[in-house]
Amino acid sequence: MSDPFAGAASGLSGPATRHFSISPSDSADLVVRPRALVFQTDGNAVLRDEGGVDITYSRYAGDVLPIRAVRVLATGTTATLVGWI
């Protein structure tokens, strides 16, 4: 497939080029740090930022949360999430 944008830089404001499933964990950081999280189902996601602060976000399916979380905690997370990079 031809990609006319193959040579263009994709900064944080550009579209994601890859995605991956998120497996919430209370003990392990994400293997890849995403540029954003996508809610696949309605629910809560407990996210840890690089400062170690945990916050619960309540969102609807299809919402994109532009945060570069380091961990998605299992305790309190009810939504299914996908990471964009």
What is the domain partition of the chain in residue ranges? 19-45+53-84
Strand order in the sheet with 19-21: 19-21, 81-84, 36-39, 64-65
Count of residues in the chain: 85
Instruction: Write out the chain's pLDDT in tens, 85 residues.
Output: 887 877 777 777 778 889 999 999 999 999 999 999 999 999 999 999 999 999 999 999 999 999 999 999 999 999 999 999 9
Question: Angle at the Cα of 53 (from 47 to 55), degrees rounded to 5?
Answer: 45
